[in-house]
Amino acid sequence: MFKSGSPVTGKDFIDRKKHLPLFKAYLDNNQHIMIKAPRRFGKTSLVKQIFDYEKKYEYVYIDIRLHHSLETLSNQIVNKAYEFVKIKNFINQAKNSLLNLLQSIKTLSIPDVAEVTIDMLSKERDPVELFIHSLDLVDTIASSRGINIKVIFDEFQDITKLHDQNILEVLRSIAQHHQNITYVFLGSLETIMTNIFENKSSPFFHFSSVIQLEGLDVDELFEYTLQQFDSKKIVYDKESLYKTICFLEGHPEYSAKVLQTLYINATLEKKKIDINSCLDAISFRVIENRAYLDEIISKLKSKKHHFEVIYNIANEKKSNIASATLYNTHVSLEDMGIIKKVEKGHYKIVDIFLKILLQQDDDTMVSLDGKLMIPMDKKT
Ligand SMILES: Nc1ncnc2c1ncn2[C@@H]1O[C@H](COP(=O)(O)OP(=O)(O)OP(=O)(O)O)[C@@H](O)[C@H]1O
Ligand SMILES: [Mg+2]
C-alpha cells in the first residue's frame, strides 16, 4: 500500500481514471503521443501499468537515462526487435556465436534484413546509422508479423545528451515513414519537452498528440485511501485526511509517502489519524527529502535572482527586480521545471515540499527538530 521509490503497477497503482482512457484511445488508434509531466509525477508508472502489467500491446521500452551513447541505445532496440521473432541477444550472438545466429536467421521471414544488421555490427559505423537501422528494423518486423509495435522513449528530453540536436530531426524524418510503429515519448522538464513537441519550428511539431499528465485526481486518491484504511481497520478523521490529500495537490510520490507514514504510524501506535498526525507526517517526509530539496535550492542559489524569485513566490511576496530580468528568471525557472505558470504573471511552485521548505523561517531551517510550519489551512 502506498509504495514509493520506484514506479508502481498492479494493486499499488492508483487508477488514473481520467488519464488512462485518453491514453489508451490514442494507442488504439496508433497515434503518436508525448506525455509530459514534472519529475516524480508517475509517467513511468503509467506506461509500466499499461504495457508491462496489462500487457495489452506489443512494445519496446527504452529509458534513455540508462544509456551513455546512441550506440548502446540502438543495440537495445535491435535486441528487443529480434525478440519479436524469437531471437534472443542478437547483438551478443552476432559478436560471439555468429554461426548459430546465421543458422537461426535462415528461419526468419526477413533473413535479408538480419544480414544487414549483422553487416552493420561487424564494422565501425556512424552511430546515427545504427540508430536509424534499429527503428527501421522494428517497423519491418512489426510489418512482417502484422502487428503495431509501440516504441516508448522514457526521459526523452535526454536524447540530445547522447547526440547533438540533429538527432531530433533524424528521428522525426525516419519515424514519419514507420507505418507499423506508434511512438510514445515521456519526459520531464516541461518546457524543454514543449520546445521539442509544440514549438512550430521543432521537427516534432504536429507529429504527436501531447498529454499533460497532471497529479493524481484528489477525489480518486481520497476514495482509494479510505478503502485502504478501512480494509486495515484504521481509524481516521475524514476531514483531516481530505485536507491533507488536497494540500499535497495530488503529487503522486509525496502523497504516497505521506499516506504511507500515516498508515504505518496508525498501525504501530494504534491511534486515530487526526490533523496533528497528518501535519507530523508531512513534516517528517519533507525533512526526509531535505537532501534532495537542498540540492535544488543550492542550484537555484548558484543562478542569479533565481532563489530570490522562488522564495518570493513561496511566500507570496513581490520581487523587486527589473521586469525584464524578472521575466527571464521566470522563463529560466520554468525551463528547470521548478515553477509553472498559472495565469499571466502568476506562477506556482511545482514541488509542494520545496514550497513548504521555503516557507520555513530561518531558525526552523537549521534546527531540524522535525516540526515544520505547514500552512495547511491557508488556501494554496
Ligand atoms: N498511479 C499511481 N499510483 C500510486 N502511486 C503512484 C502512481 N504514480 C506515481 N506514484 C508514486 O509516485 C512515485 C514516482 O512515480 P514514477 O517513477 O512513475 O514517476 P516519474 O514521473 O516516472 O518519475 P521520474 O521523473 O523520476 O522519472 C512512485 O514511486 C509512486 O510512489
Ligand atoms: Mg520515470
Give the environment of ion ligand 2: residues with CB less than 5 A. Answer: 44
Beta strands in the chain (DSSP E): 33-36, 58-63, 149-154, 181-187, 209-212, 339-343, 346-349
In ligand 1, the atom with minimum distance to the C-alpha of 253 is 12
Which is nearest to 4 in space by CA: 375, 247, 288, 237?
A: 288
Which is nearest to 347 in space by CA: 190, 197, 193, 196?
A: 190
Cβ contacts of 218 within 8 Å, gap of 6 or more? 245, 246, 249, 250
- Res. 365: pLDDT tops 80: no
Average predicted confidence (pLDDT) for the chain = 91
Q: Is 3 in the pocket of ligand 1 (CB under 6 A)?
A: yes
Q: What is the DSSP letter of 202?
A: S
User: Measured between alpha carbons, how far is residue 357 from residues 251, 310, 312 in Å?
Assistant: 16, 11, 13
In order of start, what are the domains of the chain with their CATH numbers?
A: 20-212 (3.40.50.300), 218-288 (1.10.8), 302-367 (1.10.10)
User: How confident is residue 295, by pLDDT bands cut at 50, 70 and 90?
Assistant: very high
**In this structure, which residue's CA is closest to atom 9 in ligand 1?**
42
Cβ contacts of 152 within 8 Å, gap of 6 or more? 47, 51, 59, 60, 61, 62, 183, 184, 185, 186
pLDDT of residue 321: 93
Distance from Cα 27 to the centre of ligand 2, integer Å = 19
Mean pLDDT, range 204-232, rounded to an integer? 92
- Res. 62: pLDDT tops 50: yes
What tens digit of pLDDT does each residue of 69-127 get? 999 999 999 999 999 999 999 999 999 999 999 988 988 888 889 999 999 988 888 89
Q: What is the DSSP letter of 60?
A: E
**In this structure, which residue's CA is closest to atom 31 in ligand 1?**
4
User: How confident is residue 378, by pLDDT bands cut at 50, 70 and 90?
Assistant: low
Mean pLDDT, range 191-216, rounded to an integer? 88
Which has more confidence, 366 or 344? 344
Q: Which residue has the cell 526526509?
A: 288
Distance from Cα 256 to the centre of ligand 1, integer Å = 9
Mean pLDDT, range 13-32, rounded to an integer? 90
Mean pLDDT, range 262-276, rounded to an integer? 92
Q: What percent of the chain has pLDDT over 90?
A: 71
Distance from Cα 68 to the centre of ligand 1, integer Å = 24
Report the distance separating Cα 375 and Cα 83, nearest Å: 53
Q: Is 60 in the pocket of ligand 1 (CB under 6 A)?
A: no
pLDDT of residue 379: 44
pLDDT of residue 122: 86
Which is nearest to 36 in space by CA: 153, 148, 150, 206?
A: 153
Q: Is 14 in the pocket of ligand 1 (CB under 6 A)?
A: yes
| CA torsion through residues 53, 55, 56, 59, sign | positive
Q: Is 40 in the pocket of ligand 1 (CB under 6 A)?
A: yes
Cβ contact 273:262 at 8 Å: yes
Q: Is 87 in the pocket of ligand 1 (CB under 6 A)?
A: no
Mean pLDDT, range 132-161, rounded to an integer? 96
In ligand 1, the atom with minimum distance to the C-alpha of 155 is 27
CA angle 43/334/221 to nearest 5° reads 35
User: How confident is residue 377, by pLDDT bands cut at 50, 70 and 90?
Assistant: low
pLDDT of residue 374: 86
Q: Is 328 in the pocket of ligand 1 (CB under 6 A)?
A: no
**In this structure, which residue's CA is closest to atom 23 in ligand 1?**
40
Q: Is 348 in the pocket of ligand 1 (CB under 6 A)?
A: no
User: Measured between alpha carbons, how far is residue 195 from residues 183, 200, 339, 348 in Å?
Assistant: 18, 9, 16, 20
pLDDT of residue 372: 83
What does the buried/exposed string (b/e) look like for 259-282 if buried means 16 or more CB atoms within 10 Å of the residue's CB?
bbbbbebbeeeeeebeeebbbbbb
pLDDT of residue 108: 84
Which is nearest to 188 in space by CA: 346, 43, 25, 307?
A: 43
Distance from Cα 203 to the centre of ligand 1, integer Å = 29
Cβ contact 147:52 at 8 Å: no
**In this structure, which residue's CA is closest to atom 29 in ligand 1?**
4
Residue 60 dihedral angles phi and psi, to the nearest 5°:
-125, 120
